[in-house]
Structure 1
Amino acid sequence: MKLLVDMNLSPRWIDVLADAGIEAAHWSTLGADNAPDSQIMSYAHANDYVVLTHDLDFSAILAATHGEKPSVVQIRADDVSPDVIGKHVIIALRQMASELEEGALLTVDPNRTRLRVLPLRQDKQNVSGL
């Protein structure tokens, strides 16, 4: 699994993920700082990345397009610095690696993790929590 870290997260995430054995790139090294979310999603899909973000727009794109890839990992916390929530994110990534490889929306907050299999549907059978 390769992660594409969105512009709304610090580049410090790259080192934290690398220390955990997870390959990652920050969008600032791959594309324009002001690129629309749709461009980031297209790049991630074409290059087999999972998007790591703090932005709800990525899940909205998945819902609107009924997309099956790329997977998206959303961090939902007041403090999204890797020092604060990095361990939660890494644990969730490891636990849900196979689902993320297949296509999923993973939401991580300090108290729980929620996984939805792609494409997003309105049914209740598509949700699991940790």
Structure 2
Amino acid sequence: MMLKFLADENIAPRVIAELIGYGYETRSIIDIKPGLSDDEIIKLAGRENRIILTHDKDFGNILKYPLKKHKGVILIRLKNQSPQNVIKYLVPLIKSQKEKLKDSLVILSEQGIRFYKSFSG
């Protein structure tokens, strides 16, 4: 199963291009509707069965966005958010953990990767 991603406005075009180059179907909020609210992004990702890519900490709030409410979020919390650094950490994560990304909140930082998964159906 090929993963599909929805990139928040804060994800650099170069990162999106890199993911597309690896064969991951990736859409950007910039191309769809700039300024879309976080709630609308969650709904759109759900409708299109996409994992959200973002630097926005709000998506890491599991009280506001419970794990059952989305198809997955990768929250990129790197200190160096240059496109090349994001690619350096993100691509290996996607390639090695693709089974674990769906329906999870994944926090990616230089210190490592944390997975939060919903276990209640």
TM range (shorter): 0.7 to 0.9
The share of aligned pairs that are identical, in percent, is 24
Q: In 2, Cα distance between the equivalents of 1:28 and 1:21?
A: 20
The aligned length equals: 117
TM superposition score normalised by structure 2:
0.85
Aligned partner of 2:116 in structure 1 is 116
User: Alpha-carbon deviation of 1:26?
Assistant: 1.0
Q: Is 1:37 matched up with 2:38?
A: yes
Aligned partner of 2:14 in structure 1 is 12
Runs of 4+ in 1 over 3 A off after TM superposition: none
**Structure 1 residues not aligned, in runs of 5+:** 121-130
**Structure 2 residues not aligned, in runs of 5+:** none
User: Alpha-carbon deviation of 1:15?
Assistant: 1.0
Aligned partner of 1:127 in structure 2 is none
User: Alpha-carbon deviation of 1:87?
Assistant: 2.0
| Residues 9 and 80, structure 1, Cα contact 8 Å, conserved in 2 | no
TM superposition score normalised by structure 1:
0.80
Q: In 1, Cα distance between the equivalents of 2:37 and 2:118?
A: 22
Q: Is 1:95 matched up with 2:96?
A: yes
